Chain A
Amino acid sequence: MMRILAISDLMYRAVITLYPTSFLRAHGEAMAQLFRDSCRDAFRQDGVVGLVAVWGRVLRELIPTIVSEHLTEANVMQRGLVREWSEGDARQRREGGVGVVDASGYINADGGDAIYEIVERLLAVDLRRIVLNCSDMKRVNSIGISRLRESLQQIDSRGGKATMCGVSSTIAKTFGVMGVTQLTDLYETEQDALVSVELD
């Protein structure tokens, strides 16, 4: 019994690698565990017939759900490429399994909203490791920072991790006073920020 379940588990783990990496990172382990539980109970109840029934259900949903997750990810990454406001813009891109938000110009209420929106889009495709690159950020105001804090808190509440890089010394001081640095670490270069966010 144990052997057939172990083989079934291995096969399922191989099959689900077809899902997008970010989806797999967020839910792969839980899916594998759910599949394992389903197989164990079905096998106990109906033997091999039960196991085959579970596999039948999985295979029926496999192609549609894999296609759907890939399409969702591609769509979100394309749609949210640039978000502009009167005094700046925010762009999203992807570096491996990390979502990067490039924010430039003046981060006021509109800028903060734009960053929040992009962060939400990244979280929607399970890119929960996010680097906010502030190299081209010129100024910030209190509402922009407040929205930025909400973005960081949102990432944290979804089990993700965020880091920031390229913050000028003036803005870094303001971030310190406004409590942003309690929510995330600041790095000089994007590379350092990427390494840190990927390590955790």
Chain B
Amino acid sequence: MTNPDPQTLLPLTPAVFHILLSLVTDERHGYAIMQEVSERSQGKVKLGPGTLYGAIKRLLANGLIEEIDERPDPDLTDERRRYYRITGFGIRVTQAETTRMADLVQLARTNPGLIAGEPA
């Protein structure tokens, strides 16, 4: 099956975007994803188990991430944990979302009312 156009999955929810970002650099299990998201957002985003696994379910279904059998470091990890990694399609969707948000920020920054700090 060919993956759909990344644009069709945008915009991503903040939880989904954070999860994808946390997986760009490393394969992680659920708790490691949660910690990475909390650290990366300086404690502003704290995912609960229901939100995290609801998002993981959808990411798996859309082929943005995949579960892996091998363990990144077998000596240090618990056999029962399930590890996830981002797919090539997941990277493309994350890039597309980053571009979409950057364009929005750019648009906001060129708004004269915002530059002056007061409504135009």
A residues engaging B (CB < 8 A)? Answer: 16, 19, 23, 26-27, 29-35, 37-38, 57-58, 60-62, 65-66, 68-69, 116, 120, 123-124, 126, 150, 157-159
Contacts and interface: CB of A to CB of B under 8 A. Distances in A.
* A-B pairs, 10 with minimum CB distance: A65-B50, A31-B49, A124-B61, A61-B48, A27-B53, A37-B31, A34-B30, A34-B49, A57-B48, A61-B50
14 contacts: A16-B50, A23-B53, A27-B53, A27-B56, A33-B81, A34-B31, A35-B49, A37-B31, A58-B48, A62-B48, A65-B48, A124-B57, A124-B58, A150-B1
B9 to A, nearest CB: 14
Given A34-B49, A35-B49, A150-B1, A120 B61 contact: yes
Contacts of A38: 31, 34, 49
B111 interface: no
Contacts of A27: 53, 56-57
B71 interface: no
B95 interface: no
Given A34-B30, A38-B34, A57-B46, A116 B1 contact: yes
Interface of B: 1, 30-31, 34, 46, 48-54, 56-58, 60-61, 66-67, 80-82
A189 to B, nearest CB: 30
A35 B34 CA distance: 11
Nearest to A29: B80
A34 B51 contact: no
B82 A30 contact: yes
A155 B99 CA distance: 33
A57 B31 CA distance: 15
B54 A68 contact: yes
A198 B103 CA distance: 49
B50 A19 contact: yes
Nearest to A57: B48
Nearest to B54: A65
Given A35-B49, A58-B48, A116-B1, A30 B30 contact: yes
A30 B53 CA distance: 8
Given A27-B56, A33-B31, A34-B31, A65 B82 contact: no
B97 to A, nearest CB: 21
